[in-house]
Amino acid sequence: MEFVEAVLLTVITASTPLLLAASGELVVERAGVLNLGVEGMMIVGGACGFAGAYLTGSIAIGALCGILAGAALSAVFAAVTLGLAANQVASGLALTILGVGLSGLIGAGYVGQKIDGAGHLYIPYVTDIPLIGKVIFGENAFVYFSIALLIGIWYFLYRTRAGLILRAVGDNHASAHALGYPVLRIRMLAVLFGGACAGLGGAYLPLAYTPFWVSGMTAGRGWIALALVVFASWLPFRLMVGAYLFGGITILQLHAQATGLGIPSQLMSSLPYLATILVLVAISWVRGRRGSPAPASLGLAFVPDR
Amino acid sequence: MRLALERRAERSIAMALVSPLIAVALTLATGALLFALLGKPPVEALKIYFFEPLTDPWALQEIAVKATPLVLIAVGLSLCYLANVWNIGAEGQFLIGAITGGWLAVATHGTGAGYWVLPAMLVLGALGGAAYALVPAVFRVRFGASEILTSLMLVYVAELLLDYLVRGPWRDPKGFNFPTTAEFDAVAAMPTLIEGSRLHLGAIIALLVVAWATVMLGRTLKGFEIKLVGAAPRAARFGGFSDKWLTVVTFLISGALAGLAGVIEVSATVNHLQPNISPGYGFTAIIVAFLGRLNPAGILVAALFLALTFIGGESAQISLKVPLDLTKVFQGILLFYVLACDTLILYRFRLLPAPKAVHGIR
């Protein structure tokens, strides 16, 4: 019983950064922009988030720093890919390289420092319910926020006019432009939102997952978040399934390493990456001839004619 | 008034030549700003970073040594990118080449094997890199899985595999528990070009690859096919070219070149296998490919410049006490500027009057 509870708790903690970053990228891609720089925005969000929390002693301010840093970095991407119609794949890679470097510069002074991690919700009696009490009512604020965010994104995309317009921009930017919608402005807002989410997802790592800063601590989570969006077929609630599945794999390999079954630790550590490849191949194969559900204008540059 | 992009009637040849230079100039200007922010004298810092290595014979050699893997990898990547195929996992293919080629050096260590070892290592390295690159290519053409994500994921797997090998089965029993293999024998080491220098035969191999790629792209049907599939995929299909087959071919070539770069790097400069044999050559080579405008000769120049950022970064770390990560920051900024300036080849800026009324229905 206690083991199951511990596993559930750790799965949720491991999934939340993936869910946050992937939720933002889902909106970006739904607007027709492929921002491959999630890893870079996450890691800068992590470094700035830790710096903010360390200097002010407030987790909330740290989270805000992460959000702002992620959004600021995504603004560079927006300027180059939207303002100058540059290649989105290459620009996303540039953003990752830049982000990894910047995080090293920013984080250099904080290596080895510790903070008090984010606190957990506690409701007397309710949180004490065995098995599910802590899992549902004993998480940190990031976890609840990530779920609220996902519901908000679903509502926005499928129940509001603005969400419909955003999807139209992603599916056919020429038609959306012809109807008079400001394609580039909508895309820019989406990219900034995605950057903010990635920054928050990155900040989660040093603020709630492990309460210290290690350079390179995102360890490819940004890329896994990108794969999750594909896995989810660009649908918000499937994203949640995917994120918890991948959090589960991360935790599974950690538990397997702890038991010392004699399996090389490197093989266990590579499981999340191998699983990502496997899932991408499987999902693409299952879709087969039905065609990809990706937004039709995904990754294509748009230059308005006058 | 507002600034807008307007498509040029045809590609601007002048901008194609000038845009990488503008990008480098803008990177230097941004670099000065960054140094000022870090509290270092900007002009002095730029001098140490970008110019002093050019005046020191040792550093010049070291630039050529670091440019060698960058040229090899970037030439392969440029073929992919020209064909609109996105191999971004060259770092992994580089590591696997080092592993498969290095395996022979480890296996023949101390057996007194002859001079066939090094050539065989190079072949094995290229084959290993190509085989590793085949995985994302096949997943792409057979199942439609994004080669961007799968090739990148395989980088992490390759890093962990190398880590496992040098800590586990291949670790030097006499190595004081350090995670490295035994030192390679003399027959497994890349010969140097000049006695006592670090400049090695790999530099010549890189030049040969540049020459081969120039001829292949400019004068052969395969080169035409690569450029056509990338520029006009529909026309290429009508012309009977298979974009699936080309995806596999470009991945194989770029994987083989990255693998070759990997085995050359370990046999020439490191001389054994250890967990960190690459300062990110596979990723820096992506920048080299774009800065060189996906052209073999351009790549040669671009690789020398990015090798300079590695050397400058190291000397700036020592004399200016700035973190080594600054190199990555410069490299990222450079790629952004290159991509931004490339826009000017196809477009120009026009000042347009502010839009008066919104057309159409809202």
Asked if the structure places residue B52 within a domain, the reply is no
A127 CB neighbour count, 10 Å cutoff: 17
Q: Show which of residues 249-268 on chain A sit within 8 Å of chain B, judged by CB atoms.
A: 264, 266-267
Model confidence pLDDT, tens digit, residues A73-116: 999 999 999 989 899 999 999 999 999 999 999 988 888 888 88
Chain A partners of B85 at a C-beta cutoff of 8 Å?
none
- pLDDT band for position B359 (cuts 50, 70, 90): low
Q: Please, what is the average pLDDT of chain B?
A: 90
**Contact B333/A at CB under 8 A:** yes
- The larger pLDDT score, comparing residue B325 to residue B125, is at B125
Give contacts of A 21-50 with B, CB under 8 A: 36, 40
Cα–Cα dist B362/B353, whole Å: 22
What is the domain count for chain B?
A: 1
Q: Provide, rounded to the nearest whole percent, the portion of chain A with pLDDT above 90.
A: 58
pLDDT in tens, B251-269: 999 999 999 999 999 999 9
Judged against a pLDDT cut of 80, whether residue A228 lies above it is answered with: yes
Q: Across residues B196-207, what is the average pLDDT? A: 90
CA A168 – CA B287 distance, rounded (Å):
33
What is the CATH T-level fold of the domain A2-290, as seen in this structure?
A: ABC transporter involved in vitamin B12 uptake, BtuC (1.10.3470)
pLDDT in tens, B96-117: 999 999 999 999 988 888 889 9
- Contact status of B16 with chain A (Cβ, < 8 Å): no
The fraction of chain B above a pLDDT of 70, given in percent, is 97
Burial track A137-171 (b if 16+ CB lie within 10 A, e otherwise): bbbbbbbebbbebbeebbebbeeeeebebbbbbbb
Any domain includes B336: no
**How confident is the model over B204-208, as a mean pLDDT?**
96
> What integer pLDDT is reported at residue B362 of this predicted model?
43
Q: Is residue B304 a part of any domain in this protein?
A: no
- What distances in angstroms separate CA A163 from CA A155, A187, B97, one per listed residue? 8, 12, 47
User: How much is the ipTM here?
Assistant: 0.90
Give the confidence band of B347 by pLDDT, cuts at 50, 70, 90: confident
User: Does residue B215 register a pLDDT over 60?
Assistant: yes
Pick the residue of B336, B347, B356 with the most A CBs within 10 A to test the interface with A by mutation: B336
A266 contacts B160? CB cut-off 8 A: yes
Q: What is the pLDDT at residue A206?
A: 94
**B285 or A126: which carries more pLDDT confidence?**
B285
Sign of CA dihedral B126, B128, B131, B135: negative
Mean pLDDT is highest, among A216-220, B235-239, B260-264, for B260-264
Chain B positions in Cβ-Cβ contact with residue A220 (cut-off 8 Å)? 153, 156
Q: Confirm or reject contact between A80 and chain B (CB < 8 A).
A: yes
- Record: contact A270-B156, CB cut-off 8 A: yes
In a domain, B103, yes or no: yes
pLDDT at position B61 over 80: yes
Residue among B4, B145, B325 whose CB faces A280 most closely: B145
**CB-CB under 8 Å, A277 with B154:** yes
Q: Render pLDDT for B268-301 as a digit per residue (tens, 0 to 9).
A: 998 899 998 998 999 999 999 999 999 999 999 9
Domain span at residue B171 reads 68-293
Cβ of residue A303 closer than 8 Å to a chain B Cβ: yes
Q: What pLDDT shows up at residue A123?
A: 81
Nearest to B340 among A86, A93, A227 (CB): A86
Compute the C-alpha angle B104/B125/B306, nearest 5°.
Answer: 130
Q: How many residues does chain B have?
A: 362
A120 pLDDT tier (thresholds 50, 70, 90): confident
Query: Would an 8 Å CB–CB cutoff place A209 in contact with chain B?
Result: no
What long-range pairs does A256-264 form, CB within 8 A, spacing at least 24?
Answer: A264/B164, A264/B168
**Inter-residue contact B217 to B227 (CB < 8 Å):** yes
Using a 10 angstrom Cβ sphere, with 0-12 exposed, 13-18 middle and 19 or more buried, the burial of residue A4 is exposed
Task: Map residue B169 onto helix, strand or coil.
Answer: coil
Residue in chain A closest to B146 (alpha carbons) equals A280
pLDDT at A125: 79
pLDDT band at B230 (very low <50, low <70, confident <90, very high): confident
**For residue A81, what is the nearest residue in chain B, using CA coordinates?**
B340
Per-residue model confidence (pLDDT) at position A243:
92
Mean pLDDT of B314-342: 89
Q: Higher confidence at residue A7 or residue A261?
A: A7
Q: Write out pLDDT tens, residues A13-57.
A: 899 999 999 999 999 999 999 999 999 999 999 999 999 999 998
pLDDT tens-digit readout, A132-163: 777 777 788 899 999 999 999 999 999 999 99
Look at residue B50 and tell me if it is in a domain. no
Residue in chain A nearest B325 by alpha carbon: A101
Residue A124: the pLDDT is 81
- Under 8 Å between Cβ of B88 and B258: no
Q: Is A226 on the interface with B (CB under 8 A)?
A: yes
Reported as a single tens digit per residue, the pLDDT across A48-83 is 999 999 999 899 999 999 999 999 999 999 999 998
- The alpha-carbon gap from A227 to the nearest alpha carbon of chain B, in Å, equals 7
**Taking a contact as any Cβ pair under 8 Å apart, which residues of chain B between 25 and 44 contact chain A?**
38
Band (B38; pLDDT cuts 50, 70, 90): confident
Interchain pair B328, A104: CB under 8 A: yes
Inspect the interface and report whether the beta carbons of A97 and B283 lie closer than 8 Å: yes
What is the band of A260 on the pLDDT scale with cuts at 50, 70, 90?
low
Residue B1, pLDDT score:
62
Residue B113 located in a structural domain: yes
Q: Are A104 and A213 in contact (CB under 8 A)?
A: no
Flag whether residue B134 sits within 8 Å of chain A, measured between CB atoms. no
**Residues in chain B within 8 Å Cβ distance of A93:** 88, 283, 286, 335
Q: Is the CB of A97 less than 8 angstroms away from the CB of B331?
A: yes
To probe the interface with B, which of A76, A80, A93 has the most B CB atoms within 10 Å? A93
B82 touches A: beta carbon within 8 Å: no
| Mean pLDDT estimate for chain A | 90
Instruction: Say if CB A277 and CB B92 are below 8 A apart.
Output: no
In this structure, the number of other CB atoms found within 10 A of the CB of residue B301 comes to 16
More confident residue, B51 or B353: B51
Query: Is B4 in Cβ contact with A304 (below 8 Å)?
Result: yes
- Distance (Å, whole) CA A171 – CA A168: 5
Judge: B326–A94 Cβ closer than 8 Å, yes or no. Answer: no
